[in-house]
């Protein structure tokens, strides 16, 4: 089978041009935005050119389906509000090149997917969660983004494209190639990571409601300032979590909405995101208890009304042993001693797909471990190395799942 590295790199750069931020190689393609839909239509054309049967499902997931039982390869093409050019796109375009090369060589059959809203504008890996059945479409339709737009409204922007859900039984397994998004491969000068397992996540919004008032006339002791409550919560939480976490545990307040948000008004309300991740379900639950108790204690002490949104999450998931072995053997063949087995601290669609079929993941290094920023990048030689490993692994990957 002859893969074409130049064609693969050209596709990656052509895709990057759709929603390019103009800063470094950054991209702005949030799920269901005009740029995201344009990118999906561009990918659909490439899939058609590759002889694949193109479908969009009701969540907006894009499929390029090969005939017969096939290996599914892909990732996502939506981005964070400030995203990198490779996060998700790498796995989709690698899938495309692999499917094309496999078609030209007469097999094995490779299908390609670009899942929708992996980056969680509305939830946590929304498109693959819906397809895998862990989140119903009706439930997803009630979810809102940080600006209050519902999933139902957002996905209506793709209504002219969408058809039925795709039957998972036609796929023998799933392989997702992705950038590492962390520092370990880059620091070690390695080119390939074969993923052992993906950590779990919990995500929700927390609201403190105090009293909006005048910033000049309200004495400090009479204030019920929602920002001060958030500040106290953050300090207390960092302190209390120390008792239950390990160095792998992470927690983030990444979005804060302060109401009404004016220099001269004591803010009466704050809504903020609260997310935490760990490889152990029991620890995720212990962290949840600490988070809820700390918020309640701070609310009591500062006179806030406290509420929590619905909590979304994904459990930690192990990757399939046979698919992993196929990737590891190919990594050792193509990049001897420049690869490792490793955990994924980032979330991926593979978590959801693993509920339906054997699933595995492979990483390429991220320069300086930087991702979820316009400055995310990977050396071209490492991108090509990843493609070569995937191509070398394809016969074993296809055979492992009983594909054609
Ligand atoms: C996915 O991008 C994640 O947040 O890990
Ligand atoms: Mn991603
Ligand atoms: Mn991401």
Burial of 352 (0-12, 13-18, 19+ CB in 10 A): buried
In short, whether 199's Cβ falls inside 6 Å of ligand 1 is no
- The residues, any chain, with a CB within 8 Å of residue 180's CB and separated by 6 or more, are 186, 193, 342, 363, 364, 365, 366, 369
92 CA from centroid of ligand 1 (Å): 16
In short, whether 124's Cβ falls inside 6 Å of ligand 1 is no
43 CA from centroid of ligand 2 (Å): 17
Both tokens assigned to 17:
């041009």
Residues with Cβ–ion distance below 5 A, ligand 2: 87-88
CA 228: distance to chain centroid?
Answer: 32
Give pLDDT tens digits for 214-263.
999 999 999 999 999 999 999 999 999 999 999 999 999 999 999 999 99
**pLDDT value, residue 377:** 98
**pLDDT value, residue 404:** 52
pLDDT band for position 403 (cuts 50, 70, 90): low
Round the average pLDDT of the chain to a whole number and report it. Answer: 97
Ligand 1 atom, smallest distance to 371 CA: 2
Ligand 1 atom, smallest distance to 80 CA: 2
pLDDT band for position 78 (cuts 50, 70, 90): very high
Give pLDDT tens digits for 187-207.
999 999 999 999 999 999 999
pLDDT at 269 over 80: yes
348 CA from centroid of ligand 2 (Å): 6
Strands 317-318, 192-198: parallel, antiparallel or unpaired by DSSP? antiparallel
**pLDDT value, residue 26:** 98
2 CA from centroid of ligand 1 (Å): 32
Q: Whose CA is nearest to atom 2 of ligand 1?
A: 119
Give pLDDT tens digits for 128-185.
999 999 999 999 999 999 999 999 999 999 999 999 999 999 999 999 999 999 999 9
Give pLDDT tens digits for 301-331.
999 999 999 999 999 999 999 999 999 999 9
Q: Whose CA is nearest to atom 1 of ligand 1?
A: 347
Average pLDDT over residues 38-61: 98
**pLDDT value, residue 343:** 97
In short, whether 346's Cβ falls inside 6 Å of ligand 1 is yes
Share of the chain above pLDDT 70, in %: 99
In short, whether 347's Cβ falls inside 6 Å of ligand 1 is yes
In short, whether 335's Cβ falls inside 6 Å of ligand 1 is no
The answer to whether residues 59 and 47 touch, using CB atoms and an 8 Å cutoff, is no
In short, whether 119's Cβ falls inside 6 Å of ligand 1 is yes
Q: Which of 9-18, 102-111, 142-151, 393-402 has the lowest mean pLDDT?
A: 393-402
The span from the CA of 240 to the CA of 232, in Å, is 12
Which ligand is in closest contact with the Cα of 254?
1
> CB atoms < 10 A from the CB of 300, how many?
10
Name the nearest CA neighbour of 182 among 328, 371, 309. 371
pLDDT band for position 402 (cuts 50, 70, 90): low
The span from the CA of 60 to the CA of 284, in Å, is 30
Ligand 1 atom, smallest distance to 347 CA: 5
**pLDDT value, residue 306:** 98
């Amino acid at each position: 089978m002859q893969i074409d590295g130049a064609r693969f790199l050209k596709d990656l750069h052509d895709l990057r041009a759709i929603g390019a931020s103009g800063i470094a190689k950054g991209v702005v393609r949030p799920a269901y935005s005009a740029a995201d839909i344009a990118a999906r239509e561009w990918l659909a054309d490439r899939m058609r050119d590759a002889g694949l049967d193109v479908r969009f499902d009701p969540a907006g997931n894009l499929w390029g389906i090969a005939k017969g039982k096939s290996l599914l390869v892909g990732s996502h093409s939506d981005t964070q509000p400030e995203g990198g050019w490779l996060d998700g796109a790498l796995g989709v375009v690698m899938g495309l090149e692999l499917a094309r090369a496999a078609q030209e060589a007469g097999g094995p059959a490779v299908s390609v997917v670009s899942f929708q809203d992996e980056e969680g504008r509305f939830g946590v890996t929304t498109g693959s969660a819906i397809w895998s059945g862990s989140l119903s479409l009706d439930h997803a339709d009630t979810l809102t983004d940080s600006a209050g737009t519902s999933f139902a409204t957002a996905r209506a922007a793709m209504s002219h494209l969408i058809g039925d859900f795709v039957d998972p039984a036609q796929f023998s397994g799933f392989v997702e190639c992705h950038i590492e998004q962390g520092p370990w491969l880059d620091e070690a000068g390695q080119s390939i990571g074969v993923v052992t397992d993906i950590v779990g996540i919990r995500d929700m919004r927390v609201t403190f409601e105090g009293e909006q008032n005048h910033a000049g006339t309200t004495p400090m002791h009479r204030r019920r300032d929602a920002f001060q409550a958030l500040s106290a919560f953050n300090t207390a939480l960092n302190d209390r979590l120390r008792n239950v976490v390990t160095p792998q545990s992470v927690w983030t307040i990444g979005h804060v909405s302060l109401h009404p948000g004016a220099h001269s008004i004591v803010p009466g309300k704050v809504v903020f995101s609260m997310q935490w991740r760990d490889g152990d379900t029991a620890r995720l639950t212990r962290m949840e208890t600490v988070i809820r108790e700390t918020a309640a204690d701070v609310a009591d002490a500062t006179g806030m009304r406290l509420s929590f949104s619905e909590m979304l999450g994904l459990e930690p998931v192990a990757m399939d042993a046979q698919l992993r072995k196929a990737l590891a053997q190919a990594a050792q063949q193509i990049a001897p001693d420049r690869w490792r087995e490793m955990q994924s601290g980032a979330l991926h669609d593979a978590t959801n797909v693993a509920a339906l079929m054997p699933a595995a993941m492979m990483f390429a290094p991220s320069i300086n471990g930087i991702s979820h920023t316009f400055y995310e990048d990977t050396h071209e030689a490492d991108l090509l190395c990843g493609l070569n490993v995937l191509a070398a692994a394809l016969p074993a990957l296809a055979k492992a799942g009983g594909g054609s």
